[in-house]
Amino acid sequence: MKNHGNQAAISKDKRGLESAPKDKAATQNKIQGLEPIALKEYSEQACKTLNLDAIVWNEHHLKFVQAPQNLLLMYFSYIMHYQFNPLCQDIILVENPSQTWRLIITVDGWAKYMNRHPQFRGIQFQESEEKIDGIPSWIECSIYRHDRIVPITIREYYQEAKADHEAWIQMPRRMLRHKAFSQCARLAFGIAPFEEGNFNTTSVSNSCVSKDIGKNNRGQPKAKSPMRAGINRMELLREKLAQSKHAKNSETTNQSN
């Protein structure tokens, strides 16, 4: 009898494992079906949050039709929660030459958010006396908050932060200061967008966005790679949206009955 019970339990576990992938696939299909609906709702809500004209808003976002939907969800979510105005270049979506996309909060966006935050108490910069080709080897940014005993301080090093971009060539000091400021504001106020320079969270790409996703560095075909770690947060968001939608529909059904 004991062996028979164990066999029954094992058989039940196997059935559960077999049904798990099907259930997961069904859930994933439902979540993907909600994406266009969620995008429309998030876009409209973001527009209302900033009290902007809907026509101007929609025209501005026509250029982002090829951006991944999960990145657009995060983009509109940041606008709603933190009042970044994309029409004033507070927050932008950028398409890379490799046809991947990045979400960036600009220096102006950080400055506006920081100055209207009730806990903001001040900011201070310090630079290294050591120079590299006449440029400070590092710049340090400290942000003071009313609810913190010590400031939040971040130091960015020129050798690590510099890039081949034209702005870094023409204005290296300013760009290093902007880098230190953005990183410090990010930590001081707990906002973490896809950060420049972090491969796992900078670019969001899939087979619809990147033409090179089916090739390795040598140009040879390869198996499709999984989505990058930065997308996991958006998958969680979509699951929550699906649950919320289901709960709302159930509530409406109960009220009608």
Domain limits, the chain: 2-256
pLDDT, tens digit (0-9, with 9 covering 90-100), for 195-230: 443 323 333 333 223 333 344 444 444 433 333 334
State the angle between helix axes of 69-82 and 232-256 in degrees (0 to 180), rounded to the nearest 10.
80
The tens digit of pLDDT for each residue in 29-76 reads: 444 444 677 788 999 999 999 999 999 999 999 888 888 888 899 999
CA quadruple 15, 21, 23, 26: dihedral positive or negative? Answer: negative
Burial 167-200 (b: 16+ CB within 10 A, else e): ebeeebeebbbbbbbbbbbbebbebebbbeeeee
Give CA–CA dist 188/123, Å, rounded. 11
Q: For the chain, what is the radius of gyration of the CA atoms?
A: 24
d(CA 27, CA 21): 10
* Secondary structure letter of residue 174 according to DSSP: H
Given a contact cutoff of 8 angstroms between Cβ atoms, the answer to whether 84 and 66 are in contact is no
What is the side-by-side order of every strand in the sheet holding 120-127? 120-127, 138-145, 152-157
Residues 6+ apart with CB under 8 A from 120: 114, 143, 144, 145, 146
- pTM for the complete prediction? 0.62
